[in-house]
Structure 1
Amino acid sequence: MKHFSRFVLAFCAVLLLYGSAVALAPCWPENGITGTNGSGALGLDFLYLPSDTPAVAYYEPVKKDLYYTTFDGADWQGTRVDKKGGMFPSLALDAASAPAISYYRGKKKDLRFAWYDTRKHKWRGKSIDKKGDVGSASSLAYLPSGAPAIAYYDASKGDLKYAYAYKGNKKWRKTRVDTIGDVGNNPSLAILDDNPVITYADADGGLKYAWFDGFVWQNTIIDADADPQARSSLKILNTGKPAVSYVDGNTGALKYACLDGGVWQSVTVDGDVNAGPDVSMTLLGNGHPAIGYRDETNGAVKYAWFDGADWQVATVDITGETGFAGMNRVATKSYGTAYMVYADWPNYCARFQSLDALSEPTLKSIVGDVPEYEWRYGCAPTAGGMIVGFWDRTAYPNLVDGEMPMAARAGMDDLVDGVIAGDEHADDPFYWKFAGKKGVRWDYKRDRWVFGGPQPSRARDCIADYMNTTMPDGGSYGWDIAWGMRDYAVNHPNGTEPGYFAVDIYSDPTIDHLIHEIDAGRPVMLFVFSEYGAHAVTVFGYDIDDETGEYYYAVRDTWGDGLTEDATEGAFRREEVVDEETMIVEWWKWQTFSDDGVPADEWQVYQLLSFTPVGSEDEAVVTLYEGLYEQSRGKSRGPLVGWNGEDGGPFNLSGGAANVPEPLSAVLVLAGFAGLYLRRRRRG
């Protein structure tokens, strides 16, 4: 196993490790991304839809049409957007994930905007600016208000311009951002703190950065030696810092810069090439930047990524005439896997290439400040208590009145006991007699229990209350766990200030889901199954065995022995150094519920709950994949799921699965999450 090294993006050491070209993806000479010509001069853009479907906007130079196409897993399915031209497209998604494109209509030399009308199921278009030669380079993004915005080059005046829509897509306001000299070519637009920011070329001063401060546009020089003819690619890092990839005008080297403390810090990513004029940057699932570009010196398409310590470089295609200007874009799926689309001129086609084999994570990552608490009246509230303890020690110091410790045994720390499950919860007859029973449910709209019996005599004041955890077995239903964590933080009964979390629920999660959260510095709650039944644990790290390629995850277990020297059966322990502190960490092999041949004493991952800080209670929603789980509030909690070894399987469904909406799996979604019942299982 390899040692994990944290990083500061603003100060990037450079170590270039060159790899061989990856196995090339198939080429599509017909009905493909570039039509029949394969020209690499007039542009494409590429992104992933929320469904993880790749989408490409491109100019077809034979018919001179603008096309939009998506990949269905077997072939590209395209539609014509504009039959009168569509050079240099920039592709983005609106708030409803519908595609939109800004582009240049070469014959009329004007800036156009096209969007997909989801009600009429067709593309619509509009000219945004027709004064002079405008839009030969543009960049499209959506503002937090939902309005499209475009940064573009006015070649007639040599100015950088910016336009945004109001009153739907029909009315647009335009302004000149920078007019000093010949500026504005090859812009790249992003949104930072609700305002637009732009990188762009200055023919006399290299690469510049403009930002709207809420009142006026301001600008500064990033690198006076940047190539003004090369495209820059701007992204906002997970840290909130803007970062840009670009080409050095003197050496042709590929460079990267990020804004830290008001100063642009730049590093050389690949200094042994004459990088082509077109670079494209994306962010991997772990937040690290990755860049696709052309190596003009060797006639190759290349890919560079930051691994957490150094920049790594690999060759994607070295067949020669590939990846020309405007025809090289890189993007990532929702959880980390990078892909590239680039032109293959000799074969008159384009290639859609996976880069996963190049940038697959191989480093260990552990989140610090995650405490370890002994089981107290339920594995779910105890796991939740550890997550609350983490956030109280980091982003929300007043979520609990008093600092949550790094370790506590049940019944020996009043603060931790009160957060997880106070004595009042343990003694409340309601949680002994009624909670968890058929027909007993919490009405979230009226904030009360709905059934034929008496209400609890006290207000909810601990995680177990908010999770509706039963006594004495400590059972909790799945969606009560998710909403319970959300509502406990919002109401903060043990603290002075609230915490706001968006809770995401992933059924049958992949290791990429875990890597994404851990690399973002956020512990998660995992639901697992073993011979003892359903169980909830707190997970705060991952690792990979370099010899076997198997992934492992670091656990704060809640089954009573988490603070002893012995690991839970099926796991192993070892010393780790986390934030300069030595601790004992328990590791489990990543195995999902769908894997075959898992030993009975080993865990199978069933579901993952992630907790992302947000700015307000309205943003603190519970999401199941792409759909809000609001419809579950105030309704039946679904079928009960538990261990039933006598019946030969882990599930005992008591009805309701027939109502699960397609295409989600009945077992893995409604029966698996809404009805998941996590109990304390005593081991003999």
Structure 2
Amino acid sequence: MDLQQARQFNKFLSKARFPLILCLAVLVCGPYAAMAQDAAPGRAQATVESVESGKYYTLRRLSIPGEAPISEMIISGPPTPPPGYEAERVPVDLAKAAAKTTIKILTAPAFNWVFGCSSVSGAMIAAYYDRNGFPNMYTGPTDGGVMPLNNSVWGTWSDGTSTYPNLPLAASHNGVDGRTTKGSIDDYWIKYGSEDSDPYISGGWTQHAWSDAIGDYMKTSQSYYDNSDGSTTFYSWTSSATPLTCADMESGSIDTLDGTYGRKLFYEARGYTVTDCYNQKTDNAIAEGFSFAQYKAEIDAGRPVMINVTGHTMAGVGYDDATNTIYIHDTWDYTTHTMPWGGSYSGMTMWGVSIVNLAPVATASQAQPWELLLLNEE
């Protein structure tokens, strides 16, 4: 039984309406017994060592034979900011910030929450790249094919319980941005926090082909990957400060579940080459983890950083070197906010980063003569 199947099996057991002993006695639990028998050869057997949970996250420590222990963080950050932290969330005065030499802030899009904070943060970072040398991230009809700085242009929709904005780069939606077929929201969404089977499963239709929404590749809100509506899963080493790379994920058979690996798949599907790709705990969560200095280096290189706290995901877009403060887009409005490095935001403590970097794209002015020929042919 691989890790994905184990998660589904555990979910099944937690919802069982008959005694577990009966299930074990007959040795068949419907399709889940066959699932264990039919697992692909060589797939990892995962054992849950401990579980920690908060209002917006579940953290499991897992043991996989042949691998060091890993931590599984399921993040389900809320659609609106938790009450009680209004003073902490006062927007940054960007004009004043720009006047300080110790501050650097990237001009990055800020999007409002839909589908899941992790996919929205992934969309903000992809949108920044779309506007800065990687123009194939978004190719829709809006704003001449350049991703806007916010998602207000696409209006709102309701699931019958709550109203959300549209954001096609995070989650596609039939009738939005020129789309005429079902997309992410149609196939995967019921309501925030729902653990029921996705609509395409319960409705018996074929899910859409992934292409233009990063949330699809990150497995956000997809019940098939045991993510409730609004949640995304990330893995890291439990006791090691070193990065858990995308190659490590493949080795441990968790690549199909991890949100960072999904970001990699999205970038590759858009035609780009990924270089660095990893999750890593921050140095407040584990000694010698991802540091403020490393964060600054990413920002200085023009790369926003996906920040995971205990229950939420945000896009880091800048820093103040004098105060060890980072500047973030928190997925709840279109403004910029601050957070102390290694501290907390809206009651949720910094936990790790998701890093997916891209190889530079050669332009016509940079290309060699033989490369110009290829560019012209394309």
The alignment's TM-score, normalised by the length of structure 1, stands at 0.27
Instruction: Identify, as 1 or 2, the structure richer in helix.
Output: 2
TM-score when scaled to structure 2? 0.46
Q: Which has the higher strand share?
A: 1
Structure ID, larger Rg: 1
Higher relative contact order (CA 8 A, sep 6+): 2
